[in-house]
Amino acid sequence: MCQLMDTTTTAAPLQNDCETESSSLWSWWPSWRPTSMSLLKTTESKILACIRNDIWARFVTLPNQDRIWTLTVTNKAAPNPAAQASKTPLVMVHGFGGGVGLWIRNLDGLSHSRTVHAFDLLGFGRSSRPHFPSDASKAEEQFINSIEQWRQSVGVENMILLGHSLGGYLAASYAIQYPSRVSHLILVDPWGFPARDQNGTEVVKRPTLPPWVKVIASVVSFFNPLAVIRAAGPWGPGLVNRFRPDFKSKFEDLFEDDTITQYIYHCNAQNPSGEVGFRAMSETLGWAKKPMLHRIHLLPPSMPLTMLYGAQSWMDSSSGDRVAEIRGQAYTRVQLINHATHHVYADAPDEFKKAVEKICKSVD
């Protein structure tokens, strides 16, 4: 079990480190919901206490004053720190409703020989929660601009870019727009690839969706996807435990209590922002309005791409096979990770580490 310790250093005082709502319509919710940014910070600190390597946790301020919560992890026992620093860093982008804390099984291992950066996407976790437009293209562009501004602010010239789920979709979009910055693109169970034809049928078949995905998908058309968690008030944490008991079991050897599900709750019970952007980019049953399969050919042939899927995931790996067909002779590898569902990094952390380390070593 992890012992709580002070592992974070904040670059600037936390502004607005409390519940905020952009609409007065919901101004009464904070007093009813058992959450705040301070509680999210406390819960995350308990998770980050598990990290044994050196960690620098801080807010990275963008030119427009939005702030991106960022972790930089390095191996404090590295025999040659200079050699580690010279290697291309790995940048990890979480999925919908997640945050940097969910990488807890991976950060130490993947930072053994190179620097690892992980950040909360704009509108998620502890990052700023600005307004997102309702237009799919504009919402996507706001995410991508924040990633590029983050890269400039941190001073990363080139990176091995890894994205999970929604993070995979955004990582692919970023790599298309800024290919010179990505040495290798790793997409882990990426969302938003399959397309539908004009009759509304699936071009790429998907496996049967789990109940919790159907619940979220059914409300996307009418509300923000996680509105039910906020509307549940004091019953919200229990709702997370009920719908996602698997999260607790994925991390039960690290935490005996509800630390992980509490983290997920606090990440998503705050002012909806990133999920507003996600809703703008998605349509009925979670399909992307701008499917990545329609754009993946825009990746330069020189950019190597690896797609990792959980062998038991509800996300269909046939999208990866289709990507390989589209890219032709360009390096594209699709790999299934055994005994893993959608959250590959948590279900099979050792196999995930081996796969990602192999990719990283191929870069430098």
Residue 7 has pLDDT above 50, yes or no: no
pLDDT > 90: percent of the chain: 67
Contact (Cβ atoms closer than 8 angstroms) between residue 342 and residue 103: no
Residue 243 confidence class, pLDDT cut points 50, 70, 90: low
The whole-number average pLDDT for the span 140-148 is 98
Q: What is the dihedral of CA 61, 64, 67, 73, to 10 degrees?
A: -50
**Residues 292-318: tens digit of each pLDDT:** 999 999 999 999 999 999 999 988 899
Query: Which SS3 state, helix, strand or coil, does residue 328 take?
Result: coil
Residue 72 confidence class, pLDDT cut points 50, 70, 90: very high
Query: Which uninterrupted H or E stretch holds 305?
Result: strand 305-310
Query: Which SS3 state, helix, strand or coil, does residue 49 take?
Result: coil
**Measured distance CA(278)–CA(220) in Å, rounded:** 9
How is 66-82 classified by DSSP, letter by letter? -EEEEEEEE-TT-S-HH
- Indicate the pairing of strand 116-119 with strand 67-74: antiparallel
Average pLDDT, the chain: 86
For residue 285, what pLDDT is reported? Answer: 63
Contact (Cβ atoms closer than 8 angstroms) between residue 193 and residue 315: no
Residue 8 has pLDDT above 60, yes or no: no
The whole-number average pLDDT for the span 89-102 is 97
Residue 88 has pLDDT above 70, yes or no: yes
Give every CB contact of residue 7 below 8 A, 6+ residues apart in sequence.
Answer: 45, 48, 49, 51, 55, 57
Which of 166, 78, 157, 80 shows the shortest CA–CA distance to 123? Answer: 166
Residue 24 confidence class, pLDDT cut points 50, 70, 90: very low
pTM of the model: 0.87
**Residues 191-228: tens digit of each pLDDT:** 999 987 655 444 555 555 555 455 545 444 445 667 77
Give domain limits for the chain.
37-208+273-362
Class in CATH terms, 37-208+273-362? alpha beta
CA-CA-CA-CA torsion sign (178, 182, 184, 187): negative
The whole-number average pLDDT for the span 148-159 is 98
**b or e along 312-348 (b: 16 or more beta carbons within 10 Å of the residue's beta carbon)?**
bbebbbbbbebbbeebeebebebbbbeebbbbbbbbb
